[in-house]
């Protein structure tokens, strides 16, 4: 099972749709931005914070890039 298949199965298990191809790419970009701007552990937690805030993926990515630029 590859990553996209696993995410699709996980989304189904949680009763939601998996991310689109574009959302998947943006989430990876968000995780990468968080990891490269601080520490690797920030990547999954940044995605969790974005989800908890109800932020659209592009908005969450933009916010992460703003923090990196401020850094």
Any domain includes 30: yes
Instruction: Tell me the pLDDT of the chain (71 aa) as tens digits.
Output: 999 999 999 999 999 999 999 999 999 999 999 999 999 999 999 999 999 999 999 999 999 999 988 87
pLDDT of residue 68: 86
Total domains present in the chain: 1
4 in a structural domain: no
**Predicted structure pTM score:** 0.86
- Token duo for residue 1: 């099972």
Does 13 map to a domain?
no
Report which of 3, 65, 70 is spatially closest to residue 36, judged by C-alpha positions: 65
- Please indicate, yes or no, if residue 23 is contained in any of the structural domains: yes
Give residue 71's pLDDT: 72
* 25 domain residue, yes or no: yes
CA distance 69 to 56: 20
Which structural domain, as residue segments, surrounds residue 37?
Answer: 19-70
């Amino acid at each position: 099972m590859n990553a996209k298949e696993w995410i699709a199965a996980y989304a189904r298990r949680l009763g939601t749709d998996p991310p689109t191809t574009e959302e998947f790419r943006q989430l990876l970009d968000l995780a990468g931005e968080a990891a490269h701007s601080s520490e690797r552990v920030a990547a999954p937690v940044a995605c969790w914070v974005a989800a908890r805030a109800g932020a659209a993926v592009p908005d969450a990515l933009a916010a992460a890039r703003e923090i990196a630029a401020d850094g």
